[in-house]
């Protein structure tokens, strides 16, 4: 089975790092890109050369070598680092087979073959930087149709391929479908989606398409696959052995870290203030214990504190919408959706996907979505959509043991909160008795150009109000 796993990591928050899973599943790519080929050699073996250029039914035996070039990935990406090769010189590849994985400062992308053929040359070693438009591999192709199409393309633009930026139709990003959707079996889907469905033995008619006229998009198919594989969560790989450095090591800042470097440098321009408080989570601890089994039964996943905290945050944001706003030049955009970004730890680093439209979700739905995001992070399958569109950030470092933090705002957002570990600590109750309470420290950062400290304090109090007495949330749940 073809291996089409796609890894996309967008630096979408204050902290993120690359996940580079070495184990590949047989799931389809979320963003497989077929680089544009250029004919660099053509060897027609028969006298039907010209005929085969015109008539696809000709049985001519073309053999040519195409240079697979790095397509325009979009988002202004100019260069990528080659992370991993899935093929070697001499390997036979088929359409949609993985060729290599590349990493830009915004995304990691699996490049897949567009042709059947044999790899005759690799242009880069792992770790090398390739520019958009550069050849990645040469593939000797023998398909008459391929050769015919390529010959025609080549003859039209023999020298300009490397410079020509690819149009969206020539690449297949996860969120963009080819316009060449076809109707067959009464299900609307593109050929790429049909191919992917077929490769995974999935009947497209079972999937509810969210595209125009009910068209099944690649995202729909991937979600369907995600849902059907929820139970098969591979365990994270063991932590790498720590080997002390014998001497200084120089490493270029690149990939995801480069994006973090850039955005955190930009964040320096934000005059941020900090605000900290502690919340008594004793009742929340009880409630979670009480509901864990129920949730496990309902969604087949775990219930941590986060779904409650995320929902309560949304309720508090509804009261203080300026904290869910974004700065756009001289304007402040109050975002209607509460897309709450969450720092998600993975074996290879940290990513920040967001739970979308939290204002419309139940706590159960948030729990299910969090489970999905966490699992997708572990399996290298977070989509660009998962990673984009956050309007407010939360970072829960408590599961790792921290208590206090100074989170850095990710522009254009205006606030971020960091949650510390819930600890059993002695505190005075209302009757001045020392009691055992489950305390969580929360650290906020706000953009002081548009957020006042008092607003942050009121917002934090609102959240505290819900988390310390979770039953009160019920009054506001739709």
Chain residues that interact with ligand CO6, rule: CB under 6 A: 15, 302, 304-306, 342-345, 350, 370, 374, 395-400, 405, 407, 418-419, 421-422, 440
Q: How far is the CB of 253 from ligand CO6 (least distance, A)?
A: 18
Cα separation, 88 vs 15, whole angstroms:
35
Cα separation, 319 vs 148, whole angstroms:
63
Closer CB to ligand CO6, 200 or 354, in the complex: 354
Cα separation, 437 vs 428, whole angstroms:
9
Closer CB to ligand CO6, 171 or 260, in the complex: 260
Q: How far is the CB of 320 from ligand CO6 (least distance, A)?
A: 21
DSSP 207-259: S---SGGG-B-HHHHHHHHHHHTTT--PPPPPPPPP---SS-------HHHHH
Is 405 in a helix, a strand, or coil?
Answer: coil
Closer CB to ligand CO6, 151 or 451, in the complex: 451
Q: How far is the CB of 401 from ligand CO6 (least distance, A)?
A: 9
Q: Count of CB atoms within 10 A of residue 167's CB?
A: 10
Q: Count of CB atoms within 10 A of residue 174's CB?
A: 21
Cα separation, 112 vs 97, whole angstroms:
5
> Nearest Cα to 354, choosing from 381, 383, 333?
383
- Chain residue whose CB lies nearest ligand CO6: 398
Closer CB to ligand CO6, 270 or 344, in the complex: 344
Q: How far is the CB of 421 from ligand CO6 (least distance, A)?
A: 4
CA distances from 146 to 48, 85, 112, 140, 149 (A): 15, 24, 16, 11, 5
Closer CB to ligand CO6, 144 or 345, in the complex: 345
Closer CB to ligand CO6, 293 or 472, in the complex: 293
Q: How far is the CB of 289 from ligand CO6 (least distance, A)?
A: 9
The continuous run of DSSP H or E covering 117 comes out as strand 117-122
Cα separation, 255 vs 244, whole angstroms:
24
Q: How far is the CB of 265 from ligand CO6 (least distance, A)?
A: 16
Q: How far is the CB of 16 from ligand CO6 (least distance, A)?
A: 9
Closer CB to ligand CO6, 14 or 124, in the complex: 14
Closer CB to ligand CO6, 80 or 352, in the complex: 352
Please state the separation of Cα 397 from the chain's center in Å. 20
Q: How far is the CB of 439 from ligand CO6 (least distance, A)?
A: 10
Cα separation, 263 vs 259, whole angstroms:
6
Closer CB to ligand CO6, 212 or 436, in the complex: 436
- Considering all CA atoms of the chain, what is the largest pairwise distance in Å, rounded to the nearest integer? 100
CA distances from 127 to 42, 131, 234, 251 (A): 31, 13, 27, 11
Q: How far is the CB of 288 from ligand CO6 (least distance, A)?
A: 7
Q: Which residues contact residue 430 at a Cβ distance below 8 angstroms, ignoring those fewer than 6 apart?
A: none
């Amino acid at each position: 089975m073809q291996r089409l796993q796609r890894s996309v990591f967008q630096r979408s928050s204050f902290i993120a790092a690359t996940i580079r899973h070495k184990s590949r599943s047989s799931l389809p790519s979320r963003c497989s890109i077929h680089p544009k080929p250029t004919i660099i050699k053509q060897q027609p073996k028969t006298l039907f050369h010209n005929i085969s250029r015109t008539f696809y039914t000709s049985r001519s035996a073309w053999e040519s070598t195409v240079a697979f070039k790095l397509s325009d990935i979009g988002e202004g990406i100019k260069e990528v680092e080659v992370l991993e090769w899935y093929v070697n010189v001499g390997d036979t590849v088929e359409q949609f087979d993985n060729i290599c994985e590349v990493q830009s400062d915004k995304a990691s992308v699996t490049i897949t073959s567009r042709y059947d053929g044999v790899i005759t040359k690799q242009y880069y070693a792992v770790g090398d930087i390739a520019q958009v438009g550069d050849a990645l591999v040469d593939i000797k192709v023998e398909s008459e149709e391929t050769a015919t199409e390529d010959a025609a393309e080549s003859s039209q633009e023999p020298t300009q391929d490397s410079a020509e930026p690819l149009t969206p139709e020539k690449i297949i990003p996860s969120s963009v479908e080819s316009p060449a959707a076809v109707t067959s079996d009464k299900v609307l889907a593109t050929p790429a989606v049909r191919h992917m469905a077929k490769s995974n033995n999935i009947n497209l008619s079972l999937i509810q398409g969210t595209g125009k006229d009910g068209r099944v998009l690649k995202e729909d198919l991937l979600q369907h696959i995600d849902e059907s594989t929820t139970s098969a969560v591979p365990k994270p790989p063991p932590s790498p052995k720590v080997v002390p450095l014998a001497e200084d090591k120089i490493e270029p800042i690149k990939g995801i870290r480069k994006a973090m470097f850039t955005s955190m440098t930009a964040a320096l321009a934000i005059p941020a203030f900090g605000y900290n408080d502690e919340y008594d989570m004793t009742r929340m601890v009880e409630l979670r214990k009480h509901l864990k089994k129920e949730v496990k039964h309902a969604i087949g996943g775990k219930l941590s504190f986060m779904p409650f905290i995320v929902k309560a945050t949304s309720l508090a944001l509804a009261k203080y919408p300026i904290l869910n706003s974004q700065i756009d030049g001289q304007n402040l955009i109050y975002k209607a959706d509460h897309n709450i970004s969450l720092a998600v730890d993975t074996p290879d680093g940290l990513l920040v996907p967001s739970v979308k439209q939290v204002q419309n979700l139940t706590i159960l739905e948030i729990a299910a979505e969090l489970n999905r995001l966490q699992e997708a992070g572990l399996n290298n399958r977070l989509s660009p959509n998962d990673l984009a569109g956050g309007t407010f950030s939360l970072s829960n470092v408590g599961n790792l043991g921290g208590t206090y933090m100074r989170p850095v705002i990710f522009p254009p957002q205006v606030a971020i909160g960091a949650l510390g570990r819930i600890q059993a600590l002695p505190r005075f109750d209302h009757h001045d008795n020392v009691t055992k309470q489950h305390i969580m420290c929360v650290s906020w950062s706000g953009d002081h150009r548009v957020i006042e400290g008092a607003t942050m304090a009121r917002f934090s109090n609102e959240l505290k109000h819900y988390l310390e007495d979770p039953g009160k949330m019920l009054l506001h749940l739709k």
